[in-house]
Amino acid sequence: MLSMDTLTQIFKSRNPKNQLTRCNENNANGSAFLQSLSPSILLVWGRFAGGVQRRKVSCQCGTWHINLMGLKLTKQEPPKAEDLSLHHHMINYLTKNFIRNLVSKQRRRMLIAGYDLDMSYITDRVLAMSFPSQRMRAMYRNPLWQVKSVLDMRHYDHYKIYNLCIEESYDPAHFYGRVEAYPFDDNHVPSLEMIRAFCESVDSWLSSDPKNIAVIHCMAGKGRTGLMVSSYLSYCGMSADEALQLYADRRTTNNEGVSIPSQRRYVTYWDTLLSNSVLRGTGNEPLKVKLPPPSSRELRRIRLYDTVNIDTIFFVISELQEIPNEVYRPSVEAYRSSCRQIKKGYQRNNSPRYYISILEDDDDGKQSETEEPRIVVQMDTESPAIYQKSCLDHYFDKPIQVTGDVRVIFYEKMIGGRLFYCCFNTAFIKNSLLQLTIQELDKVGKKGSSICGPDFCLELLFGPANTGYSSSNISNDEHSSNDSL
């Protein structure tokens, strides 16, 4: 049995402002108060108070019989001069914190001055958090006014916020104008130019005063935030692995910080660039990071090794496009088609490097108007583990040029469901071949896993880095590029 006095003391100890108002005998009685609550609120309160067991909680308004199905009220005596507003504050407070803890999942939370917030100090001067929200979103994200209150209390006039969200923003005036935006798409990657600009800005802000801290957030405060925080830690001297591990330890309880492979890949890209950069000079001179020049590559073939229970997978290729005077770079479609099984042929000739395949229809599965089969000469790039595995292929009749930051999304057309995707930068492709296992692909759900065998592999075959190269010499170049593998 939990008395109302006990509940009141618990709530007062967790409510930093003690905003408790009182009402008189003429106010609505306890029964009316409880009946005014929505069933969803009662259900959440029931789960919070009772868990999976039935409990009885008594107060001056009556007796609450709580279980997972809801709440039943047995009216007792008329209420005294009770603070019905207190009841509302209690249920509102407990419900919101219950929902916020569910939404934050394995991210670490901080209890500061009675506020339970989704935020973590990665270092003494770098703070990661989820989006500071208003209105309905504040029900399950960090309330903006609470974030502001905590930051003012701990780091007044010495904090700067970096917003990585493209899907939502807020008035920088809430934080005295000390807000910078470096937006990019959720679950995806930024350009290398954005990573450099972000790191230089954070470094400049922290170097200007030893009391300054940087507060970085996206929406959930995990993936995009982890990518940029890890990039800055690498900028400060850590290796990519050390930075990612520190972020995972400080931000999550299950040691899973940046979990999307492409985001981890870009931290590694950035670390590679840093290793080739000029060392930091004396004084406050920033580290000068030299970015690779734009590198266009001819994409000639996409192959999916060891696929099961599927004969066609559709894909769309897009690039991050720079917009003048804009920080955000949208993803712009460059090409779309499908990978399909080789229906006839698939016979290897005597050469260990090439085999001949015959296709009778086009990429959409339609019969060719000339009724003549297409003969495809293919370079042998299989590793022994997948040598005999079935595969889905797409050959580009005319190789397409891709430059810079590229995204390839694979999906099922009839269902419309995304299977998986990957992001990469063409400047980091070696030996004209990019191979990714299922562990290196992004957002592989149940459907994506169901069509991948144990030796599944995505393979992208490119032409040489020389953009002036003519695609008419494909066979000779493929032979030479294969020799260099």
Q: How far is CA 69 from CA 40, 53, 98, 438, in A?
A: 10, 11, 17, 42
H helix or E strand, kind and range, residue 228: helix 223-235
3-class secondary-structure state, position 422: strand
Residues 155, 13: Cα–Cα separation, whole Å: 24
111-160-263-278 Cα dihedral, nearest 10 degrees: -130
Question: Which portions of the chain are predicted below pLDDT 50?
Answer: 1-2, 7, 10-11, 14-82, 84, 87-88, 91, 344-359, 368, 383, 467-485
Q: Where are the domains of the chain?
A: 4-104, 110-275, 296-483
Order the strands of the 331-341 sheet from edge to edge. Answer: 418-425, 405-411, 312-320, 331-341, 391-403, 296-307, 452-462, 433-437
How many other C-beta atoms lie within 10 A of the C-beta of residue 311? 12
Architecture of domain 296-483: Sandwich (2.60)
Return the residue matching tokens 């991210």: 107
Instruction: Quote the DSSP letter at residue 278.
Output: B
pLDDT of the residue at 358 = 46
Q: What is the largest CA-CA distance in the chain?
A: 97
How does DSSP assign 53-107, residue by residue? S-EEEEETTEEEEEETTEEEEE--SPP-S--HHHHHHHHHHHHHHHHHHHHHTTB
3-class secondary-structure state, position 185: coil
- The packing angle between helices 261-275 and 192-208, to 10°, is 70
Residues 477, 86: Cα–Cα separation, whole Å: 77
To the question of domain 110-275 being in CATH 2.60.120.10, the answer is: no
232 Cβ contact partners less than 8 Å away, ≥ 6 residues apart: 126, 198, 199, 202, 203, 214
pLDDT of the residue at 462 = 95
3-class secondary-structure state, position 283: coil
Catalytic residue among 218, 391, 422, 423: 218
Residues 441, 233: Cα–Cα separation, whole Å: 24
222-225-226-232 Cα dihedral, nearest 10 degrees: -160
How many other C-beta atoms lie within 10 A of the C-beta of residue 170? 16
On whether the CB atoms of residues 198 and 232 are closer than 8 A, the answer is yes
Annotated catalytic residue 422: no
pLDDT of the residue at 389 = 66
Residue 9 CB-density burial (10 A; 0-12 exposed, 13-18 middle, 19+ buried): exposed
For residue 359, what are the β-bridge partners?
374
Each residue's pLDDT tens digit, 254-289: 888 899 999 999 999 999 999 987 665 555 677 889
